[in-house]
Structure 1
């Protein structure tokens, strides 16, 4: 079996490669001819309780979460997916699916191949949802965590099917949060630019894409998507550098796909405000009132203040908080646009460089 197609990373590293290292076992073959004169047996050092507890934590998490991590086959390529709900929806990477519309899915502890169809793929965020044609008994949905609680140093487990080895688990930590990385597209062109990625030291190999990055509370905190190589050293692997799409973005995208069959609000760009819809005397929505401006955010830098009423983003009219979110959905962090708003009855337009949500 071939491993899944895997996107390349454009930091100082630009592509994913992997190598398989086979390690032989070793044992102490020497022996001493010295005769023991004491009949007292030397006690073996006790295993620290903390180590035992940590091992138990690992095993519990694996037992709880691994049944929710599936293998997906499309053509000759393999990848991973995570069971999102008990209705048979599975979230994965868009690049795992490629141009496929139907797929074979294998659930852990089962040799039966299930069939699934594409619901919707969103390459801009490298996420997609497929749906099983028949939901098997006992299908277990994973629990997704709160991305805001992900912290550097947390122990995490990566679960998936690296190199076609289903139900594999690797261990590492959260190395960084808030990374913005770019994938390589087909034919070597530019792919998706994804913000707020979770960087991890857990091994990520081809086939891990679309699987689960899990904390010790048994929560999926990300979908592993990228690993890296270092072009400065002959395109050799850059060990311990992998990236996962944060759970918050996964839930945002998956919920919209399941509910609407498409993306209606990406959340990929932000003004850095808290707002609410305002209505006129006839209770018709007429704009978004700025309740709070995040210090140092896009709106703050552009001079937008609390109390302003936003009525347009670029050439798109804004009447509700939903319409503002929809207008932002097609933009990316760093894009430049204009914001029209009213202040004390006067209309103003300012240029804004959009920030990250």
Structure 2
């Protein structure tokens, strides 16, 4: 398989320094007995109880959760998915399904691939739901956890089909929470900017996208979606991956299952189309308004085409990506200020954020 063709990690763009944490390793040691003349000699070292318990926990989580993780094959690309309910709904990444409508899905209990049909794709949060045309016996939905309880240092397992190797598991820890990440549009990405992502040191490789990031309680805490890239080398940066938090997955997938689409995005918007502008040294200097949607937040605040937005609330803006990240971290209906230049003169206006 050509890994570069598999829709899995995309280049992550973020404004904060990243922390890469290695997973703890459990060593093996045991007591050494000094045998007397009549005492039997020690025949081997004992495995510490703590290491055995941790290994047993890993294996139990894998037995419990791996049957809920599937492989999704499109005509040219491959990814992973998580069984959402017993009706055959499977949640995955929008960049896994792309523009296609039908797929081959391999579950833990199916000897042959099953056919599935797209229910709805929501590229704005890089999530999608497909549904099996026939629900096999024993299909096991995953249990999703509470994103608010996820903490740095928590041991996690990433499950999916990296490079087409189905039912693969890697392990690591939660390196950080609350990351706002933009995936870009290169190589089939959705150009989404997603807030509150979980950063992990568990390996996220091509084909892992749409799979499960799981805690040791057996609950899915996120959907692996992105791997960071080293800008100097142009290749993946080991140990820096990102997963969409379980709370957002439940919100989006739940709406798709109930309504066939996303009816409440929860994403703030200004109601503009815009582009990045540069200064006389060709450095990003703000976000130029190209058009304003009638009745939208920017329109009500008095913005018009040609204005250059430089700040939203307390957040300075230099690029369209920085605006997307600021809006992704905000909520519709919140009042804030927008600072902008018009004909070279600075202005500030009150704005009530709309919904995307």
> 1:166 is matched with which residue?
166
Q: How does 1:38-49 map to 2 (within 5 A)?
A: 41-49=41-49
Aligned-partner SS, 1:213 = strand
Q: Tell me if structure 2 keeps the 8 A contact 1:333–1:354.
A: no
1:86-126 CA distance string (max 9 Å, x none) = 00000000000111100000012432110000000000000
Q: Tell me if structure 2 keeps the 8 A contact 1:116–1:130.
A: yes
> For 2:50 and 2:351, how far apart are their aligned partners in 1?
51
> 1:55 is matched with which residue?
55
Q: Structure 2-normalised TM-score?
A: 0.69
> 2:13 is matched with which residue?
10
How far did residue 11 of structure 1 move?
A: 2.7
1:52-94 CA distance string (max 9 Å, x none) = 1111110110000000000000012110000000000000000
> For 2:213 and 2:152, how far apart are their aligned partners in 1?
14
Gaps of 5+ in 2: 17-36, 270-295, 301-326, 337-348
> For 1:73 and 1:181, how far apart are their aligned partners in 2?
26
Q: Tell me if structure 1 keeps the 8 A contact 2:70–2:82.
A: yes
Change (3 A) 1:268 1:160: same
> For 1:122 and 1:98, how far apart are their aligned partners in 2?
10
> 1:296 is matched with which residue?
none
Q: Tell me if structure 2 keeps the 8 A contact 1:337–1:352.
A: no
> For 2:96 and 2:202, how far apart are their aligned partners in 1?
20
Gaps of 5+ in 1: 14-36, 271-311, 317-330, 341-349
Q: Tell me if structure 2 keeps the 8 A contact 1:314–1:339.
A: no
> For 1:250 and 1:91, how far apart are their aligned partners in 2?
8
Change (3 A) 1:188 1:52: closer
Q: Which runs of 4+ in 1 moved over 4 A?
A: 37-40, 186-190, 312-316, 334-340, 352-355
> For 1:193 and 1:199, how far apart are their aligned partners in 2?
15
Aligned-partner SS, 1:117 = strand
> For 1:261 and 1:211, how far apart are their aligned partners in 2?
22
Q: Tell me if structure 2 keeps the 8 A contact 1:2–1:76.
A: no
Is 1:125 the counterpart of 2:125 in the alignment?
yes
Q: How does 1:247-258 map to 2 (within 5 A)?
A: 247-258=246-257
> For 1:2 and 1:237, how far apart are their aligned partners in 2?
15
Q: Tell me if structure 1 keeps the 8 A contact 2:89–2:129.
A: yes
> For 1:208 and 1:89, how far apart are their aligned partners in 2?
19
> 1:229 is matched with which residue?
229
How far did residue 228 of structure 1 move?
A: 1.4
Q: Tell me if structure 2 keeps the 8 A contact 1:337–1:351.
A: no
Moved more, 135-144 or 183-192: 183-192
Change (3 A) 1:119 1:235: same
Aligned length: 269
